[in-house]
Amino acid sequence: MLDDPPARLIEDEVRKARGAGQTSAFAEKVAENALGIARRERELGPILAAEERARLGELLGGEDDLPTLNWALATALREGTLDLHDDAVTDHLIRTAIAKLQVDQPTYPGFRALCD
């Protein structure tokens, strides 16, 4: 599940900052970076969420929505009802971590190193 703040709030904040006459080169670089996250979230978010939802449905069972299933996974890991060494759990966590980074920071050097 993608983290807060969602694309809409990121875009609002950039609009406000630019409207307030923010001009420094550093601030503009950060704004571009933020808009990139929002853009990728709009492009990739729905398909990645559907894939995550499908994996969780298989892992935990049930027809709940993604936030509910994600909560159930976090709770099961916290309470120890899922095994840390369960291959399917680890598989899901890795796939989800990769999916999130594709939206948030596809240029993260540790991620790029793995892709090459």
Partner 1 sequence: MADTASPPPPAALGSAGVAPVDGLALLQAARDSGMAALAVENLARLGGGASKDMWRFDLVLERGERRALVLRRQPPGRPRSTQGLPSVAAEAALVRLADAAGVPVPQVAFELPESSPAGDGYAMEQVAGETVGSRVLRLPELAAARAGLARTCGEVLARLHGVKGHEALGLRSQGPVEALDALEARHRQTGQDRPVFEYALRWLRSAMPNEATRVLLHGDFRTGNLVVGPKGLVAVLDWELAHVGPPEYDLAWLCVPSWRFQRPDLPVGGFGAREDLLAGYEAAGGTPVDPGALHWWEVFQTMNWGVMCAGAAKAFMDGARSVEGAVIARRASETEFDLMRMLAADHPAWETVHAG
Kindly report the three-state secondary structure assignment for every residue of the chain. CCCCCCHHHHHHHHHHHHHCCCCCHHHHHHHHHHHHHHHHHHHHHHHHHHHHHHHHHHHHCCCCCHHHHHHHHHHHHHHCCCCCCCHHHHHHHHHHHHHHHHHHCCCCHHHHHHHC
Identified binder of partner 1 from the candidate list 3, 43, 58, 65, rule CB under 8 A: 3
- Asked if 53 is part of the footprint of partner 1 (rule: CB under 8 A), the reply reads no
Question: What is the contact surface with partner 1 in residues (CB under 8 A)?
Answer: 1, 3-5, 9-10, 13-14, 17, 24, 27, 30-31, 33-34, 37, 67, 70-71, 73-75, 77-78, 80, 84, 87, 89-98, 100-105, 108-111, 113-115
